[in-house]
Amino acid sequence: MRRRVGRPGLLGTMARTAVVAGTATAVSGRMQRGAAERSAQEEQAAAYQQQALVDQAAAQLAAQQAQAQAPVAAAPSGPDRVAQLTALAELKANGLLTEAEFTAEKARVLGS
């Protein structure tokens, strides 16, 4: 049997086409997987960044709440002084304290 020289026959053309198509499919699939992996990594990075912003905002809110509650903790001494001064005034009005005792006790309450 003599061998043809020149262009490939039908079987050779079909084989070459199959190899080219298979290679193109493999390359296309790999490109799609790579794009999907990059997209997933970008989404994960965005989620981490968003979580960091949420954590930072929560820390700022906690600091603001701590600052807002600090003066509230010192406030109870005000009404306590008023109650003490009112009690001293009543004791003086009832004659149980002298003017000197009232003045000394008033200075002690206001000085503390």
Query: Which letter does DSSP use for residue 95 in this model?
Result: T
- Rounded CA gap, 45 and 40, in Å? 9
- Rounded CA gap, 33 and 39, in Å? 10
**pLDDT band, residue 12 (cuts 50/70/90):** confident
- Rounded CA gap, 64 and 56, in Å? 12
- Rounded CA gap, 102 and 94, in Å? 12
Dump pLDDT digits (tens) for 13-52.
888 899 989 998 989 989 999 999 999 999 999 999 999 9
Dump pLDDT digits (tens) for 44-94.
999 999 999 999 999 999 988 888 876 655 555 566 888 888 888 898 898
Alpha helix segments (H runs only) across 1-112:
10-74, 77-93, 99-111
Q: Is 14 in contact with 22 (CB distance < 8 Å)?
A: no
Share of the chain above pLDDT 90, in %: 29
Q: DSSP 3-state assignment of 1? A: coil
- Rounded CA gap, 6 and 4, in Å? 7
Q: Is 92 in contact with 102 (CB distance < 8 Å)?
A: yes
